[in-house]
A = this chain, B = another copy of it.
Amino acid sequence: MATIYDVAELAGVSPATVSRVFNGTNVSEEKVAAVRNAAEKLKFTPNRTARTLRRQSSEVIALVIPDIENPYFTEMARGVEDVASEAGYSVVLCNSDAQVEKEATYLRIAIAENMSGVIIATADERSDLDGVLATGRPVVAVDRSTSYDIDSVTMANRSAGTSATRSLIDAGHRRIAYIGGPAHIDTAAERAAGWRSVLASAHPGHALDELERFTTFRVDGGRSAMEELLALREPPDAVVAGNNLIGVGAIQVLTEHGLTPPEVGVAVIGSLPFTTLSPTAVTVVRLPARHMGVTAARMLLDRIDGDTQPARTVVLRNEVQPASATRR
- Chain B nearest CB, measured from A119 CB (Å): 14
Contact of A108 with B45 at beta-carbon distance under 8 Å, contacts A274-B248, A327-B256 already known: yes
**Contact segment of A9-17, A109-117, A312-320:** A109-117
| Residue A212 lies at the interface, judged by CB distance under 8 Å to chain B | no
CA distance A225 to B69 in the complex (A): 27
Over the window 17-61 of chain A, the binary record of Cβ atoms lying under 8 Å from chain B Cβ atoms (1 yes, 0 no) is 000000000000000000000000001011111101100001000
| Residue A277 lies at the interface, judged by CB distance under 8 Å to chain B | yes
Q: Which residue from chain B places its CB closest to the CB of A258 in the assembled complex?
A: B278
Interfacial chain B residues near A114, Cβ < 8 Å: 47-49
- Chain B nearest CB, measured from A136 CB (Å): 9
CA distance A327 to B249 in the complex (A): 13
Number of copies: 2
Contact of A48 with B248 at beta-carbon distance under 8 Å, contacts A78-B68, A276-B276 already known: no
| Residue A304 lies at the interface, judged by CB distance under 8 Å to chain B | no
Partner of A71, one of B50, B69, B113: B69
- Chain B nearest CB, measured from A66 CB (Å): 13
CA distance A137 to B128 in the complex (A): 36
| Residue A238 lies at the interface, judged by CB distance under 8 Å to chain B | no
Q: Which residue from chain B places its CB closest to the CB of A278 in the assembled complex?
A: B255
A256 contacts B278, CB within 8 Å?
A: yes
**Contact segment of A88-96, A159-167, A192-200:** A88-96
| Residue A285 lies at the interface, judged by CB distance under 8 Å to chain B | no
- Chain B nearest CB, measured from A46 CB (Å): 6
| Residue A75 lies at the interface, judged by CB distance under 8 Å to chain B | yes
| Residue A252 lies at the interface, judged by CB distance under 8 Å to chain B | yes
- Chain B nearest CB, measured from A208 CB (Å): 26
- Chain B nearest CB, measured from A232 CB (Å): 22
Partner of A48, one of B113, B255, B278: B113
15 contacts between A and B (CB under 8 A): A45-B108, A45-B111, A45-B112, A68-B77, A74-B74, A81-B95, A90-B92, A92-B92, A92-B93, A219-B274, A248-B275, A252-B276, A255-B278, A256-B278, A276-B277
